[in-house]
Every structure is written in structure tokens, then in C-alpha cells.
Chains A and B, each alone.
Chain A
Amino acid sequence: MSTPTSASAPAGTSSGAPTPGPDGGSLYWLVRDTWSVTKRNLRHYVRQPRLLVFSTIQPVMFVLLFSFVFDGVVGVALPGGVSYIDFLLPGILIHSSAFRTTQTAVGLAEDLERGVVDRFRSMPMARSAVLSGRTMADLVRSVAVLLLMIAVGYLIGFRFNQGVLAAIGAIAVVALFGYALSWIFTYIAMVVPGAEAVQAAGFVAIFPLVFASSVFVPVATMPAWMASIVAYNPVTLGADAARVLAIGYLSDDYGSALEPIGWTIVVSAAILAVFVPLAVRRYRRMT
């Protein structure tokens, strides 16, 4: 196991070239290499203004559209005192977070088609840093978009009402859930060849998950057979967890607030436990 010391880099031309540092086996190097790749991916977002603008406009547009379009219909189905924007915003944070994970897959698939990955793979860096640097950069971006959506929500009447810690908890739960999902899509990017196919596959997987959930409407308003399925949808769990932390709203399906929160954490951890090793192994074996 290597020690966390850097190789020295003496001055000089090619004749003075340093020797490589220790091999990337230790956790220290995994973290540092992940950070190097994360920086690269964040630079990519910032340097591609069109991508940045459209990927930011979309979630904001969704907040505005859904809050005004569904308010009249869904608003009346909510228990007294809960406004639709309060109900909607925590759910739509999950919705947006889940949809953005398809971008993780697309970004990674594009990377794999690029020559630079060959260099990464022939270097003594921590191999999985290409994947962890991608999901980490997407997490950073995701939290930035969540904050923007919340700001827009505040302009049209949304309020956190459970205190600062609960509000931070709501954002953390959404971020964790999105992060876990992004590893599923990392794996999809490994097994489906080509960025466009990956995007198509991602949408097929994410659409039913997001819409057959409590994101937009209370589960109680759905047909009984569907409600029983939707109750087990992890997106429902995530939305309900965010909702109880953000506005204290808990549907009758749960005994306590800890249930949706706890289950969301358990489901996220389980997804990570399965898909991180799968994706990393697949990447290592990739030809």
C-alpha cells in the first residue's frame, strides 16, 4: 500500500522529468485523483455555456410550469393548509435530480468515446477516479441546480417551515438519492454502447420511476392498484422524505417521519453498494 506522499518534480527539461508518484491504490490517491477528475468535469460544465444555460433553464421551467398548471386540480386534493407549491417543490427537486442522472450517463459515454480516456487508463492513477470524478462533479452541479430551484420556488411562494437543519436535511436527502441514482446510470453508460443509446436507455428507465410516484400528486389520488405500486417506488420515498423535512407533510401511508427518510437512506445505500462495484468492475474490464 502506498504512502500519501507526492513524488517530487525537479526542474529541468525532459531530462529532468520526475519519476511517477506512488501507485494509485490507497484511499488517499483515490480521493485526490477523484478531485482532479472532478475539477476537469466541472470545467467542462462552465466552459460549455449553452449546455449550462439549457440544463439550468429546464428545472426552473418545470417548477414554474407544474406549479401553475396543476395547482387548480391537485391543490384541492391536498389536506387543508398545504399549498401546491409547498407540496410540489420537494418532489420536483427529486424529479430534477433523477432526470439529471441521465446526464451522468451521457457525459460518461461521451468520455468513453474520447481519446483522453485511453490516457487515463494507461496512467498509474486510481482507475475508478474516472467514474467517481464524474459522479462527484454531477453531484456538485446537482446541488447548485437544487439551490436555484429553491430560490425560484421562494419567489412564487414556497417556504421551508421545519427549520434550517431540516431544510438542509431535505437538500441532503435529495442529493444523496440523486447521487445513488447517478451510479446506476454510470453502470448503464458502461454496458450500453454510444452516448445517444445511453440517453435513450436512461429516459426509458427514469420516466416511469419519476411519473409513477408522489412527485406531482398525492398517492391517495391514484387508482388503488397503482397506488400500491407507487408506494414502493424509491422516487416516492425520496419525494416523501424531502417533503416531510421541508414542509412537515407526511402522507397517511407512513407511521412516522423517520420512515420515508430512513428508507430513502437505506435504498440509496443499497443502490451504491450494488452499482458502485458493478460499474467499477465493468470499467476495469472494458476493452
Chain B
Amino acid sequence: MPAVSVEGVEKHFGSTVALAGVDLEVAQGEILGLLGPNGAGKTTLVRVLSTLLPPTAGRARIFGLDVVDEAPEVRRRIGLTGQQAAVDEILTGRENLRMFGELFHLSVAGARRRADELLERFDLVEAADRPARTYSGGMRRRLDLASSLLVRPQLLFLDEPTTGLDPRSRNAIWEVTRELVDEGTTLLLTTQYLEEADQLADRIVVIDHGRLIAEGTGDDLKEQVGGQVVEVLLASAHDRAAAMEALGSAAHPVGEVRVQVGVDGHDALTRVSEVAQALDRAALTVRDLGLRRPTLDDVFLQLTGGPPPGAEPPAAPSPNGQKAAR
């Protein structure tokens, strides 16, 4: 039985179509990354799956339970950490956790004990007795995630869990996330950070305008865009024409000072060397030259026909160190 099974789910708000027919399956223990720009329908889908919104059409089941007809049973199996921290601002961190613990039907003593454990786990002991409204964004998000973990969810929804977070909080959230998955929790993660999806998720589904437009592992998606390229970062935009000429027909510009040459089945190292020699012969100054795989940004650009969302840099340090060249 899949953890999540979605068949033809649509959600309309008046004349606005937020979900235009989504089919999706998530296996138990899987980490699914739901990737898409703002307004793509990610949050709406999460709200439907977490019983907060009934779908306009279609069916969604969590561990075989219908999110509308069997909502109370579904709620016992899920945890939800949303985009805005869903904690009480006036209560302290400790009071929040105790209250949610009681509402998850732990015993009063059990809720107290669990609250203390989580405060410890999420590095909130010092702030435990301050009202949550005095917390920084990162502390609030950690408290929010802790609130989802008072009882162990079989399926956890993380709706843009690291948007706007400092690296420390981000790492803390990633670490806990990985732990949960090791323990068998299924994870549905939404993000507009392409790197985040690539780093955390087993499988990525790309959503845009309420439709799923691509699916696969990070590698699969990159494959769809094309193989490796040699990328050259020129010292000056004036050199671009000269560089293009020197590199021949395999080269194409990808910006003012950036040129890519497809590897196209050649030996990658040979190709790098050829490019380097050609540029050297043309006496061009190069700031950086390297082998590069297409990032999910490129995937996104190609799939949605629009620029990738968010001016902010992706959340993670790039796994193969390409960040320096960009």
C-alpha cells in the first residue's frame, strides 16, 4: 500500500484552478520532493493531503485512507510543518509543545516529558520559557517542526521547510528530516529550492500551474536536459564573440560572459583540454573553466519555459562544487 495515492485531484477556488488534475503515488519510506515555483499548487496539494482542504474532484488516500471520508484516521498518521510556523505566538515554546502533546492525546505527564525531549533535540532549551513571538524565524520553524513530531508521524509533510532560514536552522531541519526517514517515516517535501530537492529527495516531481510536468530522480531530470558540458567563464563580455569563434559550432553562449561547449559523447577530459587549447590559441583571458552537469535550474528552465523562481541562491552548497563558477 502506498503512503500517498492521488488520483485526478483538482482544486478550484472560484474560477482559479489551483490543482488541475494531479496523479501521484508515494511509496512508504520514500522522500518525495515536490518542486515548483510560487503559486504552482504545491501548498494546495499539501493542504488537500493533510485534510485541511477537500478536493474539488478526484481522490486522495493516505495509507489507503481517504482524506475526506476518513480524515480523523488520516490525521493520526500525519505531521504537517507548513510555510508559516503554525505555533501559538503568545504561549512559550514549552507550553506550545505541551499543549500539542495533550491534543495528540498523550497523557499530561507524557506530553511534558516529550516536550522536554524535543526542546533539547531542537536546541530550544534556553528559549523554552519565552513566548514564541520573541523567537527568530529559525527558532520558530524548529519549534514548528518539533510540534509535528510529538508523536511519530508515519507521513510528514514539510511545506517549504527551509524557506528564508539561516544555514544553522536549515541544517538542523535537514538532519532531523534524515533521521526520521531512517526510522521509516515517509516524507513529502515541497520546495522551490532546486538544490534542496536534489539533495534530500529520492524522487522529484515538478509541478507548475497545478499540473505535474515531470518526474524522476534528480539524475533522470538532468538527463532530460542533456549531458555534461564544458563551461567557460570569460573575463570580459567583449571576449564572447572571439571565444565563440575559437570554439566552433559546438559552443553556445549562456550569458554575457559564459559559454558552454557540449561534451556530446566525447571523452570529457579531452573535451576540456580541447577547449582550453582553443581559448589559449585565441589569447583569451578565462576566469574559470570546468566540467559541469546541468543543474535542476536548467531542468526547471526547460520544463516550465520560465526562469527558475527565487533570486536567492539555492539552499545547499552544491555537491560538486560548481557554485564557485556561477
Contacts and interface: CB of A to CB of B under 8 A. Distances in A.
B87 A116 contact: yes
A93 interface: no
A18 B150 CA distance: 7
B72 A13 contact: no
B141 to A, nearest CB: 12
A122 B84 CA distance: 14
B287 interface: no
A20 B104 contact: yes
Given A115-B84, A115-B86, A123 B103 contact: yes
Nearest to B50: A122
B149 A14 contact: yes
A6 B149 contact: no
Interface string B229-260: 00000000000000000000000000000000
B289 interface: no
A135 B147 CA distance: 25
A116 B89 CA distance: 9
B183 interface: yes
B199 to A, nearest CB: 20
Interface string A118-130: 1111111100010
Interface stretch (B75-83, B270-278, B296-304, B317-325): B75-83
A224 B78 CA distance: 63
A36 B111 CA distance: 12
Given A6-B110, A7-B151, A14 B105 contact: no
Given A21-B106, A22-B105, A122-B51, A48 B100 contact: no
B180 A14 contact: yes
A29 B87 CA distance: 22
A44 interface: yes
Contact of B151 (A13, A15, A20): A20
A119 B153 CA distance: 14
Nearest to A285: B54
Given A8-B110, A116-B88, A287-B53, A14 B176 contact: yes
A32 B102 contact: yes
Interface string A31-70: 0110011011001100110000000000000000000000
B110 A12 contact: no
A124 B150 CA distance: 12
A23 B110 contact: no
A116 B132 CA distance: 12
B52 A122 contact: yes
B106 A7 contact: yes
A7 B152 contact: no
27 contacts: A6-B110, A7-B105, A9-B101, A9-B107, A9-B114, A11-B113, A14-B152, A14-B180, A17-B150, A17-B152, A20-B104, A20-B151, A21-B106, A22-B105, A24-B72, A33-B102, A40-B95, A40-B99, A43-B91, A43-B95, A47-B131, A116-B86, A119-B87, A122-B80, A129-B103, A287-B52, A287-B54
Interface of A: 6-9, 11-25, 29, 32-33, 36-37, 39-40, 43-44, 47-48, 114-125, 129, 287
